[in-house]
Amino acid sequence: MFDLATQFRCWLQAWAIFSNHYHLVVTVEAGGDSLRRMLSTLHKDEAREVNRSDGVLGRKVWFQFRETQLTFERSWMARLRYTHENAVHHGIVTEAARYRWCSASWFEREARPSFAESLKRFKIDRVNVPDDFEVLAPE
């Protein structure tokens, strides 16, 4: 995903990857379709790899993606935090930085400390992002 983002000139700001869905906050050049092309390529490449490892041909792995253009700073900040905290929201971890397939720990290391602290306090209880993920208890 990181290589594709670079190839398609998409700059990842936040990510959370799960077995059946993902959340990304991405900056792209205005007016282009680079995000759509990057995600289409990602879905195609991942489907081929998963199908190869399972010995299956032609199975559809990713079914869709939704994109929203964030035009207000408060919307952007809420989605940054929501993406970082998504594994906590789903009960996978108790601390976002402990989920290795999200950007929370990277963000804590790389962001200006004042911005990281501001984002931690940012309210996300009203963020409405479709998310059907369900954690299944081990048998």
Q: Residues 91-98: what's their mean pLDDT?
A: 94
Q: Top-level CATH class of 2-121?
A: alpha beta
Q: Residues 60-78: what's their mean pLDDT?
A: 81
Longest C-alpha distance within the chain, in Å? 49
pLDDT band at 129 (very low <50, low <70, confident <90, very high): low
Question: Considering the chain, what percentage of its residues have pLDDT values greater than 90?
Answer: 48
Q: Three-class SS of residue 95?
A: coil
Beta pairing partners, 28: 10
Instruction: Report pLDDT for 110.
Output: 94
pLDDT tens figures, 108-124: 999 999 999 999 888 77
Domain ranges of the chain: 2-121
CB–CB of 27/13 below 8 Å? Answer: yes
Q: Is a pLDDT exceeding 70 seen at residue 126?
A: no
Q: Is a pLDDT exceeding 50 seen at residue 137?
A: no
> Residues for the chain: how many in total?
139
pLDDT-wise least confident of 5-9, 55-59, 109-113: 55-59
Q: Three-class SS of residue 26?
A: strand
Q: Is a pLDDT exceeding 70 seen at residue 136?
A: no
pLDDT tens figures, 10-41: 999 999 999 888 899 999 987 778 998 999 99
pLDDT band at 105 (very low <50, low <70, confident <90, very high): very high
- Name residues whose C-beta falls within 8 Å of residue 60's C-beta, 6 or more positions apart in sequence: 47
Measure the CA–CA gap between 127 and 120, rounded to whole angstroms.
Answer: 15
Measure the CA–CA gap between 11 and 2, rounded to whole angstroms.
Answer: 9
